[in-house]
Structure 1
Amino acid sequence: MIPALAVYGVEKRIGATRILRGVDLAIEPGERHALIGPNGAGKSTLFNLIAGGARPNAGRIDLFGAEITRLAPAAITRRGLARSFQTTSVFARLSVFDNLRCAAMLAERDRTRWWQRFSGSNTVDERAEQVLAAVGLDARRHIQAGTLSYAEQRALDLGLALAGGAHTLLLDEPTAGMNRAEAARAIELIRATTAGRTLLMVEHDMDAVFALADRVSVLVQGRIIATGTPAAIRADAAVRAAYLGDSVRA
């Protein structure tokens, strides 16, 4: 089976500093995969390379078997990969529903001309309505997105990726800044709305990681030191010594 997302021997240097040191990673279609590691391990750098925000010094990145290593972010998005950032990226002055309509218009890019996408397309509205309900924001549809709570904005962020038709999602610390109750709701929302999609997430909340991920990879000092099921990673002595420590109970 061709991996949904594959990274082969990726290296990244900034000046003389090696940030990534030959990273190999393969994620199967429909898999939920978590990338964990200490601060400074290179997780955000790897995300940035996959999404096209920077170029590696060596190596290759494939999306469903097609190389995307040197494509621009917009071109990668058009191929079905969406990234969320640690901070929300909603259109603050637009309503929640119009945010989703904007994203849904992208999904219609190959079926309608640009002027038709702004003329009340039923398909666009239907997609926006479906996502609005899926992310639990139907009651907030007419509210300006910038006035939503932080957790609601993160839900809308996820909705933008879903409405845009992405089949592969990069989620950068999706529960950061949330209390435990909010984080638990966010994980359940991600689980429910990303069924059938491929997911790679960076997350420091180990409860969230172990509750959601099918497999986990551990990045330490620019190298993947282990990949396995949550149970295997939890029990790995080398991983515990390098990163998890006492934060995870055996």
Structure 2
Amino acid sequence: MTDTMTDALRLTGIEKRFGDTRILRGVDLSVRAGERHALIGPNGAGKSTLFSLIAGERRPSAGRIELNGADTTRLAPAALSRRGLARSFQTTSVFARLSVIENLRCAVLASQRGAAGFAARWLGSRRVEARASDVIEAIGLADAAHREAGALGYAEQRALDLGLALAGGAHTLLLDEPTAGMNRAEAARAIELIRATTAGKTLLIIEHDMDAVFGLADRVSVLVQGRVIATGTPAAIRADAAVREAYLGGFVS
């Protein structure tokens, strides 16, 4: 376990119960500042539930969550966003009737604090326009700036999802299966986009594509039946006998 000052995200003893059903059973996890950390495990292991706790959408039954050393266990999503945490979901969360650039403007505006009002911020802020323009270039959607987001292809919508997380200036990103539903070529492009646009940021990613995981992550944690059974480099996780038995199976030769 690393020193707290070097951890962007730290979970200690996290449990989650729904009635008598225990989903998470004492999860300890640390994600270092600037690290790309993958969370893998079989369906039903509790990965998305863990993300919902980190993002403030649910409360843990026990345990503590820290973001940059501060206790954020019971903060709501809006408060966590203001502290620099952003989450993308398994399915796209764009505003389908708004254009791509309008989606990004909204994301930038949501992160603004202390401005006179929503309309004044929208009409008068050069910072909003500059930030939205920078992000739309970074995610490769400048040519689609004025298209409705709902008219984009699926992979483009997932790129916009990433852009929404980036537009608010978040330093810690939770990406939930960013390549789900993509073919191999689309997934490879998505991973390269993530790599390019999240440089210097802290990334915790749920992903089932093992090529993507082992090609992107600095470290990998394996969640099985609500417990982290291993954390290590991709090479160490590949070689871990317990991980082979519990999850990777035939993937690792």
Distance 1:4 1:46 in 2: 16
State the partner residue of 1:49: 53
| Letter aligned with residue 106 of structure 1 | A
**Where in structure 1 do 4 or more consecutive aligned residues deviate above 6 Å?**
none
Q: Is the 8 A contact 1:88 1:153 kept in 2?
A: yes
State the partner residue of 1:138: 142
Task: Quote the offset at 1:121 in angstroms.
Answer: 1.5
| 193, 196, 199: which one aligns with 1:192 | 196
| Letter aligned with residue 101 of structure 2 | F
Distance 1:106 1:93 in 2: 18
How many pairs are equivalent?
248
State the partner residue of 1:157: 161
Task: Quote the offset at 1:113 in angstroms.
Answer: 2.1
CA RMSD of aligned residues (A): 0.9
State the partner residue of 1:113: 116
Q: Deviations over 1:172-215 (max 9, x none)?
A: 00000000000000000000000011000100000000011000
Distance 1:78 1:49 in 2: 17
State the partner residue of 2:206: 202
State the partner residue of 1:246: 250
Percent identity between the two aligned chains:
75
Q: Is the 8 A contact 2:109 2:121 kept in 1?
A: yes
Does 1:74 pair with 2:78?
Answer: yes
Structure 1 alignment gaps of length 5 or more:
none
Superposition pairs for residues 3-18 of structure 1, below 5 Å? 3-18=7-22
SS of residue matched to 2:27: strand
| 213, 226, 237: which one aligns with 1:233 | 237
| Letter aligned with residue 177 of structure 1 | G
Task: Quote the offset at 1:108 in angstroms.
Answer: 2.8
Q: Is the 8 A contact 1:23 1:224 kept in 2?
A: yes
Structure 2 alignment gaps of length 5 or more:
none
State the partner residue of 2:69: 65
Q: Deviations over 1:56-76 (max 9, x none)?
A: 111000000111111111111
State the partner residue of 2:23: 19
Does 1:128 pair with 2:138?
Answer: no
| 96, 99, 110: which one aligns with 1:95 | 99
Q: Deviations over 1:61-115 (max 9, x none)?
A: 00001111111111111111011010000010000011111111133324x2224
Q: Is the 8 A contact 2:81 2:111 kept in 1?
A: no
State the partner residue of 1:32: 36
Q: Is the 8 A contact 1:206 1:248 kept in 2?
A: no
SS of residue matched to 1:4: strand
State the partner residue of 1:182: 186
SS of residue matched to 2:221: strand
SS of residue matched to 1:86: coil
State the partner residue of 1:212: 216
Normalising by structure 2, we get a TM-score of 0.96
| Letter aligned with residue 229 of structure 1 | T
Q: Deviations over 1:135-188 (max 9, x none)?
A: 000010010000000000000000011111111000000000000000000000
Task: Quote the offset at 1:13 in angstroms.
Answer: 0.8
Distance 1:56 1:225 in 2: 20
Query: 123-132 or 69-78: which moved more?
Result: 69-78
| Letter aligned with residue 122 of structure 2 | F
